[in-house]
A and B are shown apart, each in its own frame.
Chain A
């Protein structure tokens, strides 16, 4: 399956003017267009008609902002108060204005305003950026017909329906246009639709014949025409409409429509008339509102909030019932409360009403259980975390000068929990650049450079073997016989290879684009000295002639560059040029090739007359040209997928088949795209007979015309003689294979979703090691001819009805699932490859779960030819079907859907437009930074946030419950034992900084260790730090602490004097002591939680405790009007009392004792991975015993079936199997152990 195709399905007739003039007989009757859905009328060149109803359509102004100046406040506020917690805080703030509240209103309103204000400011900032981006687009200039044949620039947003615009080369189309004419005389133009569908090859659009003569500005002076067409809709590939011009009606096709956001390529200019503007355009119709995303932890936090809210309600109910009971039965006796003269709040006559009012008081009083500061702190922490991501120099790309960017900060911790990565291909994994790297000519392999995959694999293999050596050295018992022998065998081989390649790696100069070939045997004309120079020259001639590209002269240097629809074709031409066969001119009838090395010693220009061009289709998988060279010799040159070519070789054309096949396999394994080249000499008579027939077929009209042409082409492309094969490297972005390997080892699943062809996708799969030789490929396809054996006979054309297709796909899926189930080999890996058409069926409700089941069982999944919408649908399926966290990464506008749909969207801020980045949550400039983003930052952020949230709940439970216990001692009256200001400062200055430092600076292990031990990442997806066990544990700890703090203090300060001077403790003294205990306990707790202390943590934790005493001191110095009973409390009352200090010490230790015991226990009996690694690092064992460290690091990698480690493993298994067959007897006596 290593064969490759080079070009998309393009209609030759539409493409190449030099082959054949456009058909004149296309006189399809115009469809009657009317009724619902087809109401749009466009008066071409008369935009003034569109100024009033009913022809006034939307302007070309686009806006992707959520708010405008007027709607911002209400809308943003509404967004904020969709959070349940915020509503609760708002209610509490409103109630704090009434006498019901136990606290002062300021202490309730200020934090709420802060939180809401902060979030709204963030929203406003983001929206402003969107607005700027929109304005940038809206202000782009385009040339518009202003009347009387004068064209002038106008910003995009001022374009109206009916305007005639002129778009020049490499410009984007400002709106959906009807192509009127182009710089080519037959009205074709090339369009790059990368931003729409991610397809990299150019598409050809062709105007109607009637409009093609309008070739200059003047032609539009008096142009009038009317278009009747469909209403705006999101369907990119269809268009229905009629053009009424000169009292004639012509039908319009998608082929004449130029879509907004696609780009004009290879064409000097085009004229077009605007049909759909702004939000009516197809691409805007396709865009979806960016959803607001929340991380899993945040969602879970909501559940905890609900639990706490229930708890809050519970204790409030208990309080208010207790209050009602007390007020009814014991208050009438408490004369000192004046029960005879009360308001409703304390009325013994209406205990129910008083109880109800008290419920509100209690809800506010115990509000500390639901900390508003949690939201503030999390917000602050996430912004800081995001700034660390932005500042990371290791994710900064020197070439583009772009640092990583966390665009939304609320998903940081989600990065640590990713399970599946859905990746785009072009621009993300690959650079969309093809390099000619190797070739096999006449059975000899040329090209000494290794592909990146080979290099990476060799490196990996070498270090792997080293590890294995270590393993052998350390565990002699595990040594097994075969080990030694194969070790020596391959080890040396690989070492050699590594040496060679690594040397080469250095001097790999930034050579000619598209050409990485290096072999002195062919270069510089040396090929003439090779054993079969004829074949080599033929090979190069095929490369230079059999294509569809156009040369372009660079006027400065005089060298040629090539405009081809696919980059690999350009690579062939560059290769041919560099090796001496420079394709320099294409005329209507022929191709001119300048041969630099000739027997005569001087360059010769040869002309090849192109007689026929047998186009490339994905079905044919080959293209051929029939040419007549200068000697009059008729030649058929053919290039195509190896399997196809090999089937068509003549008996005497198979000379090099064996060697070439071997080379092709090697190339395929190295992740290269291969094509086989062959030729055939034609007899004049044979050709003319065929040519007649072909011509006849071409001009015939009928349903079977294409079939006929194909059969005829097939007839010609037989008895070929194999010349050789090419291997082109689809240049991966830097570090992609390693990154994929490491991510796979971190336990992540990687799916590739690409708009490209299946073959391209498969090649990239190989290049990225997502696929490898020996992996069972399950191709689910409706055009499944050769990939799945038994279905091949049922060609697709037979499936006319949908149900049959569906049944067939269902069948394929169930068969494949069955196959996987029956597979016994634990190393067997499956790859699922599915194309977009099939996906439409597979994503239907009844089938999608089956499909997902199959996909999850496969080691790698590649979806090709998928539309942007399907990308989003697949993402949704994975997200919802597996319930795991998904990450989508892409670079183009076609990835926007999936980026928005996935839990996390990552945009590559590379060369393509900004749409993907604008829609993304994180932007990085290279795919390889994903590893650091996930494995380091994700891991850290996840743990930080998880620990922080847990701690927050602990701290607030510990604090909030003491309030409740005290209630029971005050007759549930709603009095708090602490001063208002203590409580306010608790969350603001006494405990916030340590928890923020935990959330921002905590590192369980250093970043290098994170990368060395990818298995640590799995703590995130398995959610070890935020599972209910842990959350409830922390809550339990909180309850325990609250009990200890409250009751120890109560009993210690019970009724006796608390100091030598005989004073007894009043409420202020007791409350202050209790509060000191809380401050100590929670801050010591966080110190125990942290494992990484920089000066910042020390400062914050111990500083917070010091802050409490400082606060007490300062607060105590204020006038009693402010400080009330806390006046001079530390200096006068508590400071000199030993009981105060000894109580603090006792309570602090008692509170933290269980946690220390738990920690010590866990560490000694059930240590987690990061504990061990911390210990190793602590004792510097990694330095002393580097072998062990390396061995563990390699073991920490997940068993994986993809990535080149897996590939190396598979290869080693394969070799071992071979060796075991050879060595029947064990070499050493230590045999019998099974291979590890």
Chain B
């Protein structure tokens, strides 16, 4: 319309300047980032890539699998389940009462070494059906209290094992209270085998989580006795059984390190075990096992890792082959436009 063309005489030039500067300020600044033009690599899954990726995986995985399997097979393990055998036959009808009755419950076991075991030989106890990972159980501890004598009464989290006789328990909580208390001593040919119980726990635990000047106090003094008692003259940092025990296991079946035997055991050696069967797993029908095991670089004996590696490696090899066959039998030239949707079904967009 003509009114648009009519210049607004006086302020014309000034406003034009103003608009041009305003324009400049509103103009987006160019950068490859804002224009989404950053250099990029755009890898695509070509058959060559697919096959070589699968091949690579199988080439890497199969040796790892074989190595792990060998390592696992190298591990010698002696497992002795004793929770039933260590109860006198007469008491087997009511195991719980037997275990709760006072007095020593010694039990002798004989282990046979099937294969030469090189030191260090790790001694484990294994419990079963024991929910160390139960939320109520896991939460029932006081890290402050374990570390610092000043936090002795910091026991809120420890319920119901927080106080006994009106005083805070050190160490408090269900975990500590239920400390495993079977003991083992080993002998070979009537010769005592020392079990080294030092350094069975994490160093960081000993040094930073369990105080050197925190001593057990008022422990197992409640109406209900749980597991082991602790030597009140030893600081917590030296109570390695407790430290190991306090590392709650992830699964209801777990092993915990008991100690190390630092001599080699020869094949066909017979090992006498004298054990104190104190711990009550009978209420919840949990098994108790004594395990002697060597280790390799993958740890204890577990074939699964090797098998899994071999399976995945094998699968990848198979896939590599399968895709090779597929690409040979039904090749698709890459970037072949005839595969575009409008060429495959013309008109049927």
A1145 to B57, CA, bound (A): 10
Are A1149 and B312 neighbours in the complex by a CB distance under 8 Å? yes
Chain B's closest residue to A1069 (CB) is B250
Q: Mark A1124-1146, 1 if CB is under 8 A from B, else 0.
A: 11011000110001110011011
Question: Which stretch in A594-602, A755-763, A832-840, A1060-1068 binds the other chain?
Answer: A1060-1068
State in angstroms the CA–CA spacing of A337 and B304 once bound together: 33
Which residue of B131, B136, B255, B340 contacts A1172 across the interface (Cβ within 8 Å)?
A: B340
By a CB distance below 8 angstroms, the chain B residues around A1167 are 332, 339
B286-343 residues with Cβ-Cβ distance < 8 A to A are 293, 295-302, 304-305, 308-309, 312, 315-316, 319, 323, 326-327, 330, 332, 334-337, 339-343
Min CB distance B314 to A, Å, is 12
Q: Is A570 an interface residue (CB 8 A)?
A: yes
Most buried by A among B42, B135, B254: B135
Q: Is the CB of A1060 within 8 A of B297?
A: yes
Q: How far is the CB of A583 from chain B (nearest CB, A)?
A: 13
Question: A403 contacts which chain B residues (CB < 8 A)?
Answer: 26-28
Across the interface, do A1120 and B209 meet the contact criterion of CB distance under 8 Å?
Answer: yes
- Which chain B residues border A570 with CB–CB below 8 Å? 1-2
Q: Which of B111-143 contact A (CB under 8 A)?
A: 120, 122, 124, 126, 130-131, 133-138, 143
Contact across chains for B36 and A1060 when beta carbons are under 8 A apart: no
Q: How far is the CA of A570 from the CA of B5 in the complex (A)?
A: 13
Q: A1121-B143, A1127-B208 are in contact. Are A1066 and B42 (CB under 8 A)?
A: no
Residues of B within 8 A of A552 (CB): 2
Report the separation of the CA atoms of residues A391 and B251 in the bound assembly, to the nearest whole angstrom.
55
- B174 contacts chain A at the CB level, 8 A cutoff: yes
Residues of B within 8 A of A169 (CB): 3
Q: Is A1153 an interface residue (CB 8 A)?
A: yes
Interface core residue of A567, A1015, A1057, A1181 (most chain B CB under 10 Å)? A1057
Contact of B2 among A562, A1119, A1120 (CB under 8 A): A562
Question: B3 contacts A265, CB within 8 Å?
Answer: yes
Task: Determine whether the beta carbon of A975 is less than 8 Å from that of B251.
Answer: no
> What's the Cα separation between A402 and B22 when bound, in Å?
10
Residues of B within 8 Å of A1003, CB to CB, are 36, 40
Q: A977 → chain B, closest Cβ, in Å? A: 6
Smallest CB separation, B343 vs chain A (Å): 7
Whether the Cβ atoms of A1065 and B340 lie closer than 8 Å is: no
Contact, CB under 8 Å: B302 / A334: no
A337 pairs with B255, CB closer than 8 A: no
Q: How close is B84's CB to chain A, nearest CB, in angstroms? A: 17
B145 to chain A, nearest CB (A): 12
**B204 x A1093 contact (CB < 8 A):** no
Q: Is A1231 close to B, CB under 8 A? A: no
Which residue of A is nearest B134, CB measured?
A: A973
CA A567 to CA B312, docked complex, whole Å: 76
Verify if B70 is at the interface (C-beta below 8 Å from A): no
Whether, in the assembled complex, B349 has its beta carbon less than 8 Å from a beta carbon of chain A, the answer is yes
Enumerate chain A residues within 8 angstroms of B305, measured Cβ to Cβ.
Answer: 1052, 1139, 1142-1143, 1146
A118 on the interface (CB 8 Å rule)? no
A969–B334 Cα distance when bound, in Å, is 49
Known: A393-B28, A1160-B45. A336 touches B226 (CB 8 A): yes
CA distance A1064 to B38 in the complex (A): 49
Q: Do A1157 and B319 have beta carbons less than 8 Å apart?
A: yes
Bound CA span A1094–B37, Å: 9
Residue from B5, B26, B50, B293 in contact with A1160 in the complex, judged by beta carbons closer than 8 Å:
B50
Nearest-Cβ distance from residue B222 to partner chain A, whole angstroms: 10
Bound CA–CA A563/B5 (angstroms) = 12
A309 within 8 Å of B (CB atoms): no
Return the chain B residue nearest A1167 by Cβ.
Answer: B339
Chain A nearest Cβ from B289, distance in angstroms: 10
Interface residues of A in 1152-1179 (CB under 8 A from B): 1153, 1156-1157, 1159-1160, 1163-1165, 1167-1169, 1171-1179
* B177, closest chain A residue (CB): A336
A969 lies within 8 A of B251 (CB): yes
Given contacts A969-B133, A1132-B204, contact A1124 B143 (CB under 8 A): yes
Residues of A contacting B41 in the complex (Cβ-Cβ under 8 angstroms): 1093
- Docked Cα-Cα span, A1176 to B215, in Å, equals 74
Check B2–A1015 contact: CB distance below 8 A.
no
Cross-chain contact of B247 among A335, A977, A1125, A1168 (Cβ < 8 A):
A1125
Point out the residue from B24, B42, B254 that lies within 8 Å of A1174, measured CB to CB: B42
B336→A1172 contact, CB < 8 A: yes
Report the bound CA distance from A16 to B260 in whole Å.
116
- B205-238 residues with Cβ-Cβ distance < 8 A to A are 208-209, 224, 226-227
Task: Collect the chain A residues with CB atoms within 8 Å of residue B330's CB.
Answer: 1164-1165
- With most chain B CB atoms within 10 A of its CB, the pick from A102, A401, A1056, A1094 is A1056
Which interface class (under 10, 10 to 19, 20 to 34, 35 or more) fits A?
35 or more
Q: A1062-B120, A1070-B250 are in contact. Are A1120 and B143 (CB under 8 A)?
A: yes
User: Which among A338, A1001, A1052, A1067 is the interface contact of B36 at CB below 8 angstroms?
Assistant: A1001
For the complex formed, measure the closest distance between the CB of B194 and the CB atoms of chain A, giving whole angstroms.
Answer: 16
Q: Report the minimum CB–CB distance from A417 to chain B (whole Å).
A: 16
**Closest CB in chain B relative to A1064 CB, distance in Å:** 5
- CB < 8 Å: which of B227, B254, B298 contacts A1055? B254
Closest chain B residue, CB of each to CB of A358:
B135
Give Cα A970 to B135, complex, Å. Answer: 8
With A391-B28, A1062-B257, A1142-B64 given, is the CB distance from A1015 to B309 under 8 Å?
no
Tell whether A401 pairs with B27 under 8 Å between CB atoms, given A337-B137, A570-B1, A1149-B312: yes
Known interface pairs A170-B3, A561-B5, A1055-B253; A388-B36 also in contact (CB < 8 Å): yes
Residues A388 and B34 in contact, CB atoms below 8 Å apart? yes
* Interface presence of B53 (CB below 8 A): yes
| Chain A residue at minimal CB-CB distance from B348 | A1199
Decide if B35 touches A391 in the complex (CB within 8 Å).
Answer: yes
For the complex, is B272 an interface residue (Cβ under 8 Å from A)? no
User: By the criterion CB–CB under 8 Å, are A1137 and B1 in contact?
Assistant: no
Binary per-residue interface labels of chain B (49-68) against chain A in the complex, 1 for a CB within 8 Å, 0 otherwise: 01001000100010010001
Residues of A within 8 A of B308 (CB): 1048, 1051-1052, 1146, 1150
Instruction: Give every chain B residue within 8 A of A1139 (Cβ-Cβ).
Output: 298-299, 305
Contact B312 A970, beta carbon cutoff 8 Å: no
Nearest-neighbour CB distance to chain A for B228, whole angstroms, equals 12
Q: Does A659 sit at the interface, judged by CB under 8 A?
A: no
Instruction: Decide yes or no: A1132 and B208 within 8 Å by CB, A975-B134, A975-B135, A1055-B253 being known contacts.
Output: no
Could you tell me the distance between the alpha carbons of A1121 and B260 in the complex, rounded to whole angstroms? Answer: 30
| Contact present for A392 and B26 (CB under 8 Å) | no
A31 within 8 A of partner (CB): no
Distance to closest chain A CB from B331 (angstroms): 9
Q: Which of A390, A1169, A1188 contacts B341 (CB 8 A)?
A: A1169
Within the assembled complex, what's the spacing in Å between the Cα atoms of A346 and B136? 8
Interface residue? A1053 (CB, 8 A): yes
Say if the beta carbon of B203 comes within 8 Å of chain A. yes
Nearest residue (CB) in B for A1182 is: B335
Docked-complex contact A1067 and B135, CB < 8 angstroms: no
Shortest CB-to-CB span from A1212 to chain B, Å, is 17
Chain B residues with Cβ below 8 Å from A1191 are 337
A492 on interface, CB distance cutoff 8 Å: no
Give chain A's interface residues, CB within 8 Å of chain B: 102, 169-170, 265, 330, 333-338, 340-342, 345-346, 387-388, 390-393, 396, 398, 401-403, 432, 513, 552, 554, 561-563, 567, 570, 747, 966, 969-971, 973-975, 977, 1001, 1003, 1007, 1015, 1018, 1048, 1050-1071, 1091-1097, 1119-1121, 1124-1125, 1127-1128, 1132-1133, 1137-1139, 1142-1143, 1145-1146, 1149-1150, 1153, 1156-1157, 1159-1160, 1163-1165, 1167-1169, 1171-1179, 1181, 1188, 1191-1192, 1195-1196, 1198-1199
Given contacts A338-B161, A1056-B299, A1159-B45, 19 further A-B contacts (CB under 8 A): A340-B224, A392-B34, A513-B5, A975-B133, A1001-B38, A1051-B304, A1056-B293, A1056-B301, A1058-B298, A1063-B202, A1064-B300, A1092-B42, A1093-B40, A1094-B39, A1125-B247, A1139-B299, A1175-B46, A1192-B343, A1199-B349
